[in-house]
Amino acid sequence: MRSYFYPCPRIGAAEGGRDPVVRYRVAPLLAGVLFLIIMMACNQGQVAPPSGARFEVTVADTIPDNADIYIAGTFNDWEPGETEYRLSEQDDGTYEITLSDLPSGPVQFKFTLGSWEYVEVDEAGDDLGNREVTVPEDGGVTYASTIVGWRNPDRPWPFPNSTATGSVSVLDRAMRMTPLDRERRVWIYLPPGYDDSERRYPVLYMHDGQNLFDAATSYAGEWGIDETLDSLHAAGDPGIIVVGIDNGGDRRMDEYSPWVNDSLDAGGEGDAYVRFLVETLKPRIDSTYRTKPARRHTGIMGSSMGGLISTYAMFEYPDVFGKAGIFSPAYWFAPEVYDEIPRDRPVASDTRIYMMSGALETVGDDPDSVYVKDHRRMVNDLEEAGFDRGTHLVSHIRADGQHAEWFWRREFAAAYQWLFDRRGSDEE
């Protein structure tokens, strides 16, 4: 562990062993007093607290004006901006907080600027794993380190207030994505009344979790999934569980395509990402919550690159995902997706694909919508493979549709209701 204290002068014998203090010839009593004064000055701030832990950090990067640094961890349910966990700035520019009531044993934590969208990152701008310090059974401990940077350094400050409803929580702020050797925040939406019932619910897995529920974490507006589903529930909808997985920021294109786009030098990690959903995340959801785990009750949904990876996931794991909501799919990124269409097996009767794009969606300077062109190609290929329009497949191209969250938010309710057949029975 690196320490950020000024080194103390060495106290000891000079050459020949005659001088009681290096380079000073003083009386023994004066030498002892001088020794105590020097050590008290050098050790100021280094002495561990009587109990709990003291956290002292140096910030290597700048922080926005009027921003504060907070600590969040296992001791406060990972809340990123609680007032009582705000660090105090010291005269030397470092930041400090003492938590005297921590239990003994290992404690995990991270530093933020009051939001998980402004959490500390490493030198490359990637997410850090949880920090950890062990509090002794008797006494306290001092943890000293540095913060090298923050997530979203170019984003305007301050962040907007949270808009997530009470139905939304964070399942895991740093869920391990074993196939990719990285961590990711995972959100969960539970329908109103979940805690007061014994009902089981279908599950919809969605990408770009930052943009699904909360304006405080989204970049260009949110989908409003929670508000939409809460309203539908109030009108009689039986409800659904939604699991939102944050995208990987700069790695978004890599994770959302199994194939590499050579011109963009991106993609190639999509298969590992989907294996994380299938092998790690879904088993955890099914074992923790009252779900209907069968394929006919399990859907996957996303927009743009999220539409591409949702298409691949349904084709690659038809026994896991029986439904897919595909909004404005970026098939232009990886045309190989057309080869994944299951042409050699009958289409299961409960398979449902909802495709939706906007006529105003373009790429680069092309005045025509490549999204519409690719959308239509996929629909035609699916129909040739035996997907019946109206039974297995619905396709919509909206004249005013743009490549934007407001458009996908508007279209979400209709897609959800058709995919999960909210007009039909709700059998297990």
Residue 369 lies in a domain: yes
Give the best-scoring range by mean pLDDT among 1-5, 39-43, 409-413. Answer: 409-413
- Kindly tell me if the per-residue pLDDT of 367 is higher than 70: no
Q: How far is CA 424 from the centre of its chain?
A: 34
- Candidates 70, 51, 48; CA nearest to 59 is 70
End residue of a domain, out of 99, 114, 147: 147
Q: Tell me: the pLDDT tens digits for 154-197?
A: 777 777 778 999 999 999 988 999 999 999 999 999 999 999 99
Distance CA 331, CA 311 (A): 10
Whether residue 42 is predicted with pLDDT greater than 50 in this model: the reply is no
Kindly list the distances between the CA atom of residue 235 and the CA atoms of 99, 228, 230, 422, in Å, as whole numbers in the listed order.
Answer: 47, 11, 9, 12
Q: Are residues 199 and 319 located together in one domain of the fold?
A: yes
Domain count, the chain: 2
The answer to whether position 27 is within a domain reads no
pLDDT in tens, 88-107: 999 998 999 999 989 899 99
Kindly state the tokens that stand for 356: 């939706």
Q: Cβ contacts of residue 9 below 8 Å, gap of 6+? A: 22, 38, 42
Say whether both 183 and 74 belong to one domain. Answer: no
Residue 38 lies in a domain: no
- Token pair, residue 334, equals 């990886």
Contact between residue 174 and residue 183 where contact means Cβ atoms under 8 Å apart:
yes
DSSP characters for 137-168?
A: SSSEEEEEEEE--BSSTTS-SSPPPP---TTE
* Cβ atoms 100, 127 nearer than 8 A: no
Domain with residue 409: its CATH number is: 3.40.50.1820
Average pLDDT over residues 251-262: 97
Give the Cα separation of 188 and 384 in Å (integer).
37
Rounded to whole angstroms, the Cα distance separating 337 from 335 reads 5
Is residue 307 domain-shared with residue 229, that is, in the same domain? Answer: yes
201, 290 contact by CB (below 8 A): yes
Containing domain of residue 136, as a range? 52-147
